[in-house]
Each structure stands twice: as structure tokens, then as C-alpha cells.
Amino acid sequence: MACPRVLGSKSESGALACAKATPVPGDFLHNRASFNPQRTPMSELLNKLEWRYACKKMDPAKAVPQDKVDRIIEAARLAPTSSGLQPFEIIVVTNSAVREQLKTAARGQAQITDGSHLLVFAAWDNYTADRINMMFDLTNAQRGGTNEGWENYRQMLLKNYPARTPEVNFEHAARQAYIGLGASLIAAAFEEVDATPMEGFDPKAVDEILGLSARGLRSVVIVPLGYRAAEGDWLANLKKVRRPTAQFVTEVK
Amino acid sequence: MACPRVLGSKSESGALACAKATPVPGDFLHNRASFNPQRTPMSELLNKLEWRYACKKMDPAKAVPQDKVDRIIEAARLAPTSSGLQPFEIIVVTNSAVREQLKTAARGQAQITDGSHLLVFAAWDNYTADRINMMFDLTNAQRGGTNEGWENYRQMLLKNYPARTPEVNFEHAARQAYIGLGASLIAAAFEEVDATPMEGFDPKAVDEILGLSARGLRSVVIVPLGYRAAEGDWLANLKKVRRPTAQFVTEVK
């Protein structure tokens, strides 16, 4: 192909040369020449990511020990978020009757009741001055003081965030919740616990069942935790498929 | 306090009793009675999450080895996404001139040029039939076949996703990118590489510099990779602050 394999030079239009290049089918290395799988032996983390999958059939007889659940949640709590605001919470549902209601609101997906715990990630419905001040005050209390730069940063957020629409703020908060989601899914893999992230549910119904609106929260993703069933999981033995690195990564050298 | 510490019973309104309870200052266990830190020894993953922070001053003399960068990216590639669509890409910028331009579009944040690599997470600007079919076709090719349920699922996505507004689809894709972001930040910690996620940039300017619009991508978050400087990082020695578990988790038993 005429186009260099690594992007680098600028075209006259200001866009990087080759940025619009059409991938050649089968030529997965069109823009990632320096990637070398031999150079990247799997780390323990990558092994865990390879191990996990979205379990489709959980064994209702097997419960996840509470200490494992605690560590899975702790990973989300420790996960980074924008400005450290942690604009989400996690509801852990073990109550069977409530999980039955939630399953109805989630297209009847059986893992919700076949697993032992259901994590509901719920994002803040808005950024308010109270919420921003709560996190800055907590930070100052824990660090035993503050400084001018930090307080200026607080004022910048107080000026900008509450002035945005609730929907813009909610979408921003939801993205942060997904960082926590990613951390929890990885933590589950480290605990050898199966976890199935689900977006296929009616968020308004879930919010109503769990009383989230009154708390200024909106459900964004739910995750049953459990153990894969010995039989009946159509996905369990299928290859994990991801786009090749060359279709996922572009280098600008 | 009169309210039970663990939520469980339903009120007449259908919302869970106590859901609107106002946290009592200092009473962090108002809704998380069963959490017991003694039961949750730190796992290696949690240690890595504790170790990491948003490095504020990187040492421009230290470059991250390419094999570490590769594993950090691989974690994002292997991360789960909704329906396995992987609706984002990563641009890895090492070119100094391009990073200078990006720094200008990102409030002059010095880590962008003091680090050795800049990861730009760019989400799909929309879900199109072509993109959905690309991932389903790739999956079928890699798995050597398909089945009726899987093809029905493809048709469901083809019917529903392209019919939504591009903005709804972009926001959905952006959330998935944040799962990958979380995986990459954790991977960086496993590699003992400092990583500073940044949203404080002008996405339109970044998209223009990198030619992303022409590729149907929109930048959502950028992450310089590098090593903390010996001096000058105001955050390096400050305590990591997170809300106590009882203010982050609610149990419904």
C-alpha cells in the first residue's frame, strides 16, 4: 500500500496524512507497524482479562463469598474519577424478591436471580454545589488542610458544573461510573468470580424499584455476580473476539 | 437513628424503606452494616489501585518502554464493551510537534509533553450498520460460524442502534471507552507507569489535530504516560481520598 504504515507527517489540510486511509482487508498492520506481540508477554492482568467473559448461565446453587464481593466493590471505590468526585454509587442487591422485580425490568435475564449478588451502578443525576463541596470538604478533612490552587479548582467546578444541564452532567457522571465498572469487572476476574455487565434494562423501572430518583441517582449498568453453570452457557466455550490491534490503535510518531 | 442500617423492606410507595434517609454526619455505616474491612485484605489489584494517582509532574527525561505501553493498550483492547462492539479506538501520540499542538488544546497541561506517550481515547461518533456488521462478521470469522440466536441479536442491534440519534449513540460509545480507560489505568499501575487521565481539553481541536472526524471518531479522554518527577508534583504525597464505603454502597438484603 502506498500509505506509510505509521502516521506522522501532516497533510496540507492540517489533518495527519493517512488518517483517512481505508484499511485493506486482511492487512491488519496498516497503521500499527511497530506493534509486536512477541514484545508483550501476557501480564497477570491481561490473563485475567482473557479469562473473563459475560457469563450467560450462572449456577443458582453457588453463592459468591462476601469477602470477594467486598473486594470487587472496593475496586470500584478506589477507581479514579474526574476531579475525584466519584459521581456514582453501587447498590448491592441480594434480596430475592427485589431481584425478581429487577429481572422483570431487565428482559428476564436469568443471571440476575441465578447469581448471588446484583451490583447496580447508579450515577449522580446532576452535579450540584452540595455534591462538589461534599467531596472537596471530605478531601480537605482527610488531608488535614487545603491550599489556594485546590480551592481555586473547587471554585472553577462550582462555577461551571452546576450551570450545565442535568443531562450533560449525568452523562459525564455515567462515564465515570463506567471506569468503576471496568475496575469491578477486572476485580471479579481476579477473584475468579463471573460477572455479566448488562445495559439491557429499563432504567426508570430499576430506579423506581430501588428508590434511586429520590436519592438523585440514575441506574446506568447492572452486574450480576455468580459462578458459571456447568452446562447451558452458549458463550462459555466460544473464542473471545476483539478487533486486531492494528484496527484498534493508530500511532502518530 | 430510627432507620434500619440495611435496606430491605418495601414502603407503601413501592420505594425501599430508608432510601431517602439523610446520612448522619460521621455515621458512615448508616447503610452498610455488613461491610467489614477486616474481611477484605488487599488483593494485588487493590494494591495497584491504591498505588496509582493522577501524576501532576512527569520527568521528561524518562520514557516508558514500548512493551509496557503495548500491555497498557492491550488491556483496553481486551476490556469488555456493550455487545462486544468495541466502539472506540486509541491514538498513541509520541510525535513531539503533535503533542505540543495537543497540549495547546488541553490548557497547556505539561504531562502531555513531559510524558513519553499520549493515549487519546476516541469513541465512534455513531453506530452504523457497517460498524455493527463489521464486528459481527469478524466474530463469525474468528469463531468459524454463527447461530440463529447470534444473528437475531445482530438484527436487533441493526434495527435499534442506527435509528437512534448520533449523539445518543456517541454517548453510549463514550461510556464503553471509559471501561477501556479504566482497564488501561489499572494496567499502567501494574506496569508501575504513571498515567494521568484528562478531560480538560477542547475535543474539537484535538479531533482536528488528529484528523479524527474524517474517521468517524471523537476524542473523549486523553492519558499521558510517563514517570513522576522527583520534585514538583503537588499531589504525589497527598492522601488518596475516597468516600467511605458506607457513603458509596447500599445493600438491599
Reported as a pLDDT band with limits 50, 70 and 90, residue B42 is confident
Select the residue from A154, A250, A251 to test the B interface by mutation, using most B Cβ atoms within 10 A.
Answer: A250
Q: What is the pTM of this model?
A: 0.88
C-beta atoms surrounding A11 within 10 Å: 12
pLDDT of the residue at B13: 39
Chain B residues with beta carbon closer than 8 angstroms to that of A209? 14, 16
The shortest CB-CB distance from B86 to any of A181, A185, A242 is to A242
- Poorest-confidence range of A13-27, A189-203, B48-62, B125-139? A13-27
CA of A11: which chain B residue's CA is closest?
B211
Higher pLDDT, A107 or A21: A107
Give the end-to-end CA distance of chain A in Å, rounded to a whole number: 19
pLDDT digits (tens, 9 = 90+) for B210-231: 999 999 999 999 999 999 999 9
Task: Calculate how close chain A gets to B93, using CA atoms only, in Å.
Answer: 5
Please answer yes or no on whether B16 and A54 come within 8 Å at the CB atom.
Answer: no
Reported as a pLDDT band with limits 50, 70 and 90, residue A40 is low
Q: Which residues contact A237 (CB under 8 A, 6 or more apart)?
A: none
pLDDT of the residue at B25: 32
Element (H, E) at B92: strand B88-93
Give the whole-angstrom CA distance, residue B114 versus residue B194. 12
Task: Calculate how close chain A gets to B226, using CA atoms only, in Å.
Answer: 16
CATH number corresponding to B66-127+164-226: 3.40.109.10
Reported as a pLDDT band with limits 50, 70 and 90, residue A1 is very low
pLDDT of the residue at A227: 98
Given a cut of 80, whether residue A18 has pLDDT beyond it is: no
Given a cut of 70, whether residue B7 has pLDDT beyond it is: no
Reported as a pLDDT band with limits 50, 70 and 90, residue A42 is confident
Please answer yes or no on whether A182 and B187 come within 8 Å at the CB atom.
Answer: no
pLDDT digits (tens, 9 = 90+) for B57-101: 999 999 999 999 999 999 999 999 999 999 999 999 999 999 999
Of B83, B61, B77, nearest to B230 (Cα)? B61
Chain A residues with beta carbon closer than 8 angstroms to that of B79? 49, 182
Chain B residues with beta carbon closer than 8 angstroms to that of A119? none
Q: How far is CA B41 from CA A116, B37, B44, B70, B215, in A?
A: 21, 7, 10, 30, 46
Are B85 and A243 within 8 A, CB to CB? no
pLDDT digits (tens, 9 = 90+) for B160-190: 999 999 999 999 999 999 999 999 999 999 9
pLDDT digits (tens, 9 = 90+) for B101-140: 999 999 999 999 999 999 999 999 999 999 999 999 999 9
Given a cut of 80, whether residue B45 has pLDDT beyond it is: yes
Reported as a pLDDT band with limits 50, 70 and 90, residue B40 is low
Reported as a pLDDT band with limits 50, 70 and 90, residue B44 is very high
Whether A73 and chain B come into contact, CB under 8 Å, resolves to yes
Tell me which residues of chain B, numbers 14 to 53, contact chain A at a CB-CB cutoff of 8 Å: 14-16, 19-20, 34-36, 39-40, 43-46, 49-50, 52
**Could you state, in order of their start, the residue ranges of all structural domains in chain A?**
14-53+236-248, 66-127+164-226
Q: Give the torsion through C-alpha atoms of A201, A169, B86, A57, to 10 deg.
A: -30
Chain B residues with beta carbon closer than 8 angstroms to that of A86? 242-243, 248
